Amino acid sequence: MKIVAEGIEDKQQMDWICAHGADALQGYFNAMPVPAEELAAALKAYPDGRPRG
């Protein structure tokens, strides 16, 4: 089972969550909401989910 922490809004929360074993996190700290069109374009740009470089 994987643990995903939601609602992370600052570095202090991220550090605490990471120290307590979360596998992934999401929230305003790492990505602000974007319109659907922007998300679709980003997903097409990175088909494997990872930026090149």
The confidence band for 52, taking pLDDT boundaries of 50, 70 and 90, is low
C-alpha to C-alpha distance for 15 and 17, rounded to whole angstroms:
6
**DSSP characters over 1-53:** ---EEE---SHHHHHHHHHTT-SEEESTTT-----HHHHHHHHHH-TTSS---
- The rounded percent of the chain whose pLDDT value lies above 70 is 91
**pLDDT tens-place string over residues 20-39:** 999 999 999 988 889 999 98
Q: What is the pLDDT of residue 42?
A: 81
Q: What is the pLDDT of residue 37?
A: 92
pTM confidence score: 0.63
